[in-house]
Amino acid sequence: MTPKRAAQLVRFDEAAHRLAAGHNAAAVSADCGFTDQSHLCRESLGFAELTPAALAVAPWLTVDPIAWATPA
């Protein structure tokens, strides 16, 4: 895996967990470093074959409240 692909995967993982935590796609795309919301959608389709909305409610994506705690 190239460094660029690894960075994309890490960014997508963060975005997926934020979506599952209930954040909206526009805020997630801005916070995670995507160019825009359509960029997040393309990456989501590329990695998970799901749109961000479908990814947010995917039953296999659960959020661990300790590992993904919201900073105070």
pTM given for the model: 0.78
Mean pLDDT, residues 16-34: 91
Q: Percentage of residues in the chain with pLDDT exceeding 90?
A: 64
Residue type (1 letter), 71 = P
Give residue limits of the domains in the chain: 3-56
CATH architecture group of domain 3-56: Orthogonal Bundle (1.10)
Contact 58, 20 (CB under 8 A): yes
Higher pLDDT, 69 or 35: 35
Dihedral-angle region of residue 58 (phi above 0 means left; psi in -120 to 50 means alpha; beta otherwise):
beta
Q: Kindly give the interhelix angle for 3-20 and 37-48, rounded to the nearest 10 degrees.
A: 100
Name every residue whose Cβ is closer than 8 Å to that of residue 44 and which is 6 or more positions away in sequence: 12, 15, 16, 50, 51, 52, 55
pLDDT of residue 69: 61
Judge whether residue 28 has pLDDT over 90: yes
